[in-house]
């Protein structure tokens, strides 16, 4: 019996891009490529402003209504007053997966002295895994590599498939 490909959604949190900036969404593109490298089908990709309620609404929609197995977000994870992605994500999560966020920060340690300022979070809502990534395309590549091996296992567990430990 063939196992269906996980369904993924990509959320870019950026007020400037949501307001029509001509700058391409390179971070969202990197997350799409990453999701596909995990074997997922990217079924949705969206840009929203730095607005906590909008972020929460999109995360809930993809986890509860659209049946996505994986939601990856980029942006809004720093210390600026407008950076509210972690707060929005925590409001939606049922269970945190702190090791994923710790691995993302650890991966940045060799690349930037500001690694510890990242406030990315990760966790689950129902059978959906939600992971916040930094807004930098370069940081996405570095951190994605650090967690890539564990995510298929996590998705299989959330889907209720028996997998070896």
Local confidence pLDDT in tens for the 165 residues of the chain: 556 899 999 999 998 888 877 788 999 999 999 999 999 999 999 999 999 999 999 999 999 999 999 999 999 999 999 999 999 999 999 999 999 999 999 999 999 999 999 999 999 999 999 999 999 999 999 999 999 999 999 999 999 998 766
Q: Is 131 inside a domain boundary? A: yes
Q: Is 164 inside a domain boundary? A: no
Give the pLDDT confidence score for residue 1 in this predicted structure: 52
Give the pLDDT confidence score for residue 15 in this predicted structure: 87
Q: Is 2 inside a domain boundary? A: no
Q: Is 88 inside a domain boundary? A: yes
Three-class SS state of 117 = helix
Give the position of tokens 């707060």: 87
Q: Is 163 inside a domain boundary? A: no
Q: What is the DSSP string of 7-74?
A: EEEEEEE-HHHHTT-SS--HHHHHHHHHHHHTT-EEEEEEEE-S-HHHHHHHHHIIIIIS--SEEEEE
The closest of 38, 94, 26 to 63, measured between CA atoms, is 94
Give the pLDDT confidence score for residue 2 in this predicted structure: 59
Q: Is 111 inside a domain boundary? A: yes
Q: Is 17 inside a domain boundary? A: yes
Give the pLDDT confidence score for residue 41 in this predicted structure: 98
Q: Which domain holds residue 127?
A: 7-158
Count of other CB atoms within 10 angstroms of residue 119: 19
Domain count, the chain: 1
Query: Any idea what the CATH number is for the domain that residue 36 is in?
Result: 3.40.980.10
Give the position of tokens 């369904």: 7
Q: Is 125 inside a domain boundary? A: yes
Q: Are residues 12 and 48 in contact, defined by beta-carbon separation less than 8 angstroms?
A: yes
pTM: 0.95
């Amino acid at each position: 019996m063939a196992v269906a490909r996980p369904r993924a959604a990509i959320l870019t949190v950026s007020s400037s891009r949501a307001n029509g900036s001509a700058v391409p969404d390179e971070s969202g593109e990197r997350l799409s490529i990453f999701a596909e490298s995990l074997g997922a089908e990217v079924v949705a990709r969206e840009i929203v402003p730095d607005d906590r309620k909008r972020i929460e609404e999109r995360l809930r929609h993809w986890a509860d209504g659209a049946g996505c197995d994986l939601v990856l977000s980029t942006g809004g994870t720093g210390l600026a007053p407008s950076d509210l992605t972690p707060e929005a994500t925590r409001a939606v999560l049922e269970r945190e997966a702190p090791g994923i966020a710790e691995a993302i920060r650890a991966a940045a340690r060799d690349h930037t002295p500001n690694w510890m300022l990242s406030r990315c979070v990760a966790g689950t809502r129902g059978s959906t895994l939600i992971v916040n990534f930094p807004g930098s395309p370069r940081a996405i590549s570095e951190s994605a590599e650090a967690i890539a091996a564990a995510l298929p296992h996590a998705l299989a567990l959330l889907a209720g498939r028996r997998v070896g430990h």
